[in-house]
Amino acid sequence: MPELIIYHNGRCSKSRGALELLLEHNIPHEVRWYLADPLNKKELRTLLKKLGMKASALVRKTEPLYKEQFAGKDIPEKDWLTILTENPILIERPIVELGDKAIIARPAERLYELTGTPKA
């Protein structure tokens, strides 16, 4: 089975909840602390393809940085890739990747869809 990766922000309760489920079910995983180790453009493009999303759809619109600098602006889709790599706090979380698929694990129980783990 390919390695499961959780793109994790320890300050986010939803992200902590997803990580707790992985630990609860003893699902082998790697934690990518994406704020300390931001994705580069190639990694983000690959992840977006696995998510089946555009970069603009991955933006956390509730984030203060978004509200202060980007809300209400007509930003071309191609520019969001740069914005997200330079401001990883704007990336929706938690993202969980397994093989050629990825999901935003909100709620955390969405992990069951990706891993095939039966609900507890």
Residues labelled catalytic? 12
Residue 111, amino acid: L
Q: Which residue has the tokens 């999901």?
A: 103
Q: Which residue has the tokens 């783990």?
A: 117
> Which is it for strands 29-32 and 4-7: parallel, antiparallel or unpaired?
parallel
Q: Which residue has the tokens 């397994």?
A: 98
Longest dimension (CA), the chain: 44
Helix (H) or strand (E) holding 114: helix 111-115
Residues contacting 39, CB < 8 A, separation 6+: 7, 47, 84, 85, 88, 91
